[in-house]
A and B are shown apart, each in its own frame.
Chain A
């Protein structure tokens, strides 16, 4: 389960519009509550590491950027609890490509950006057997 405050949702939507027609990406920094739910405190925008000509439908946060995001989170007393990205002119639903590259436990927030304007925002967690995403928001 994820708790995503309106301020974080708004920031992700803004990032999606800023990056349009390309995909934006970043980390969700936060903590775990007593019931094991993930509570987002802030977002950390990260450079889309894919080639420019592929960024309209792909993103990657490379290992060096991953480690940097972990370091930033620790410095703020937080953990990396998930990631977000945008789907320009596509629905806020995970693609097969998303599922094939996902890890368990993290929350994956997706914002749909249609014609440059952010719309639906959803969040998903990979099922333990990698067969599907479970919608959590």
Chain B
């Protein structure tokens, strides 16, 4: 399924400054993986060392956080729009 992925400003340095890109996948996990394969330098910012999507990267399908849908297994249809939305976190040790 061809879908559009909208890219936050901070990650556009890895997408040739494009604010949105096309990707393919039957479910969200496949579309994000397809996107990451097209722009390999972005992988380390999306996935941790174990290959899991980083906790502060949120994905919206339309206006809905996929945590409120089927998560990364949510099926996609042609023309869907995914948006990567980071949460900003931090704090002093410990």
Asked if A96 and B91 sit within 8 Å, CB to CB, the answer is no
Which residue of chain A has its CB nearest to the CB of B85? A63
Annotate A3-37 by CB proximity to B: 1 below 8 A, 0 otherwise.
Answer: 00000000000000000000101000000000000
Interface size on A, residues (CB 8 A): 34
What size tier do the contact residues of chain B reach? 20 to 34
Chain B residues with Cβ below 8 Å from A119 are none
Known: A63-B58, A63-B60, A63-B65. A95 touches B44 (CB 8 A): no
CA distance A108 to B10 in the complex (A): 12
Known: A66-B87, A79-B9, A80-B9. A101 touches B56 (CB 8 A): yes
Distance from A23 Cβ to chain B, minimum over Cβ atoms (Å): 6
Asked if A103 and B10 sit within 8 Å, CB to CB, the answer is yes
A136 touches B (CB below 8 Å):
no
Chain A residues with Cβ below 8 Å from B44 are 129-130
Chain B residues with Cβ below 8 Å from A102 are 90
Asked if A85 and B9 sit within 8 Å, CB to CB, the answer is no
Question: How many pairs, one residue from A and one from B, have CB atoms within 8 Å of each other in the complex?
Answer: 82
Distance from B71 Cβ to chain A, minimum over Cβ atoms (Å): 14
A57 touches B (CB below 8 Å):
yes
Annotate B5-48 by CB proximity to A: 1 below 8 A, 0 otherwise.
Answer: 00011110100000000000000000000000000010011000
Which A residues between 36 and 70 are near B, CB-CB below 8 angstroms? 50, 57-63, 66-67
Asked if B85 and A59 sit within 8 Å, CB to CB, the answer is no
Distance from A37 Cβ to chain B, minimum over Cβ atoms (Å): 15
Q: Which of A25, A96, A103, A130 sits near B93, CB closer than 8 Å?
A: A96
CA distance A85 to B94 in the complex (A): 16
Q: Which of B10, B45, B56 sits near A130, CB closer than 8 Å?
A: B45
Instruction: Contacts A80-B9, A103-B86 known; list 18 others, CB within 8 Å.
Output: A23-B92, A63-B87, A66-B85, A79-B9, A87-B92, A88-B92, A90-B92, A94-B90, A96-B93, A98-B90, A101-B55, A101-B90, A103-B11, A103-B45, A103-B56, A103-B88, A108-B90, A129-B44
